[in-house]
Structure 1
Amino acid sequence: MPGPIQSLERAAAILRLLAGGERRLGLSEVSSTLGLAKGTAHGILRTLQQEGFVEQDPVSGKYQLGAELLRLGNSYLDVHELRARALVWADDLARAGGESVYIGVPHHQGVLIVHHVFRPDDSRQVLEVGAMQPLHSTALGKVLAAYDPVAHGEALDAERKAFTSRTVTERADFEALLEITKERGWASDIEETWDGLASVAAPIHGRRRVPVGAVGVTGAIERVCEDGHIRSRLVAAVRDAARSISRDLGAGPF
């Protein structure tokens, strides 16, 4: 049986060291504490930083755990628990709003649909669990990009394809849109991804108020919108559902 890989053991030791205290650590502190040569410690830290597992303070140069570890930790929480906690609230939202409900999580520079409740009517519909949606144009994606630091970076760095004439593609405009999303606590997609369809979504938070996903409704623009804006009752219903799911996941009261 092959033995352990030394570089991985050292990387794990560095992550445990950074997780063990509240303060940031400098290169000298990391190398001396773990008995590593400075060059070795620096190379591992740089690799971990490139992967998002470690962040470096631009002023002090010291290191701390990165946002990607939050993502991995939340996935342990994980999609299964998120779906289980969201089932009842998603069903209630579909009945109250009269539209399809989607639960999405960040995945591979997009949004993975992990739960889908059909619109409560007799129309023919296709189950979209497992489908991927873009971060930059959908309501689910914009909420995740606004609240999840890794999704935020991915959305800014990715090519923002124009799906319709209303898709926001310019970086400055998109960043401003994310700021608005975070300020008001929800995102919309009014024919930015699909002609004739509109959506509204709000973030789902887990323990320690870390974003773990988003919930939203999607439907025909004439039902979801009024005078060019998302109907206020749908915004309220989606935000209530997101808060309820978040509380069930341990986020506490909002």
Structure 2
Amino acid sequence: MAKESRGIQSIEVGGELLQALVRNGEPMMLRDLAREAGMSPAKAHPYLASFSRIGLIEQDPSTGRYEFGALALELGIVTLRRLSAVRVATPAITALAGTIDHAVSLAIWGTHGPTVVRMEEPSHPVHIAMRVGSTVSLLETATGRIFAAFMPPATINAALTEDLDRLSIGYDPNRKIKGPAIDKILADIRTRGLARAVGEPLRGVNAFSAPVFDHSGAVVLAVTAMGAVGTFDVNWNSPIAKALLDCTNAISRRLGRDVKD
């Protein structure tokens, strides 16, 4: 067993105040902050004074409330910039595939549209004609519909042209989506937070797909669970759907998105 590194107890004690601010999510009075951190105001004050000097904490002179300062904000921004959505999501989809025992893919918005960048296989063999590097349809696949539903229309309209033309749905000269069918599909996906494919476009394969958002609220990934029609439950409230949403919500939180359970 690795020996635990020696730390500085006073820093760890002061860290309780920072954690209390994180949990509360809003500026706090000294007495409330101290209580949340499990210490007296007299003990908390010197820590807050030191944190203020280095910019971790600042006090509003009009209200007396403490909140995170400029250094804390800079640290948060640097952390978010360094986070790779794919890197964060990879162990999560590995765990999801093991939990549901179905294939799970990870897709990003690439040069040519939704592009698969990771695939996790289940314990049993399954034939799914989707591999790393595959670009999938925006309108015919669960993965594609996630991007169509949550990305800015200006970004996806050019890519939608081909799908709309092939499916004879039509589009206007400004490349804006027309047709109540597509509007309804995308609105339903936004409401549920899930897209579903039942036996199509891959014959004999069902799928659920859900979005991953970053700290700004932009969709950065689509996580898709896939399985054979006879074994993959497509009920909206199925254990597969719930496990998928739990997975994508956890990834979004890791990327700084405030997601409510």
The equivalent of 1:233 in structure 2 is 239
How far is the alpha carbon of 1:147 from its aligned partner? Answer: 0.4
| Counterpart secondary structure, 1:246 | helix
- How big is each residue's C-alpha offset from its partner over 1:11-69, in whole Å with a ceiling of 9 and x where there is no partner? xxxxxxxxxxxxxxxxxxxxxxxxxxxxxxxxxxxxxxxxxxxxxxxxxxxxxxxxxxx
Q: 1:157 aligns with which of 158, 161, 170?
A: 161
How far is the alpha carbon of 1:100 from its aligned partner? Answer: 0.5
How far is the alpha carbon of 1:241 from its aligned partner? Answer: 0.7
| Counterpart secondary structure, 1:224 | coil
Aligned ranges for residues 18-167 of structure 1 at < 5 Å?
A: 81-121=84-124, 128-149=131-152, 150=154, 152-154=156-158, 156-160=160-164
How far is the alpha carbon of 1:218 from its aligned partner? Answer: 0.8
TM-score normalised according to structure 2 size: 0.58
**Kept after mapping to 2: 8 A contact 1:146/1:152:** no
The equivalent of 1:218 in structure 2 is 226
**Kept after mapping to 2: 8 A contact 1:93/1:238:** yes
Identity of aligned residues (%): 22
Aligned ranges for residues 158-177 of structure 1 at < 5 Å?
A: 158-160=162-164, 171-172=178-179, 173-177=181-185
CA distance in 2, matches of 1:196, 1:118: 17
CA distance in 1, matches of 2:185, 2:148: 10
CA distance in 2, matches of 1:196, 1:106: 26
- How big is each residue's C-alpha offset from its partner over 1:160-187, in whole Å with a ceiling of 9 and x where there is no partner? 477xxxx895752122101110011110
Larger of the two Rg values belongs to structure: 2
Q: 2:253 aligns with which of 232, 239, 247?
A: 247
TM-score normalised according to structure 1 size: 0.60
- How big is each residue's C-alpha offset from its partner over 1:78-133, in whole Å with a ceiling of 9 and x where there is no partner? 9x812210122101110111100011112235210011111122568788111111
| Counterpart secondary structure, 1:222 | coil
Change in Cα spacing, 1:146 to 1:125, as seen in structure 2 (3 Å) is closer
| Structure 2: segments with no counterpart, 5+ residues | 1-79, 171-177
CA distance in 1, matches of 2:161, 2:150: 16
Q: 2:204 aligns with which of 193, 196, 201?
A: 196
How far is the alpha carbon of 1:134 from its aligned partner? Answer: 0.9
CA distance in 2, matches of 1:139, 1:187: 5
Change in Cα spacing, 1:181 to 1:125, as seen in structure 2 (3 Å) is closer
State the Cα RMSD in Å.
Answer: 2.8
- The residue type paired with residue 92 of structure 2 is W
- The residue type paired with residue 220 of structure 1 is A
Q: 1:179 aligns with which of 173, 187, 190?
A: 187
How far is the alpha carbon of 1:193 from its aligned partner? Answer: 1.0
Count of aligned pairs: 172
**Kept after mapping to 1: 8 A contact 2:85/2:255:** yes
Aligned structure 1 segments of 4 or more residues deviating by more than 6 angstroms: 124-127
**Kept after mapping to 2: 8 A contact 1:215/1:242:** yes
CA distance in 2, matches of 1:146, 1:203: 10
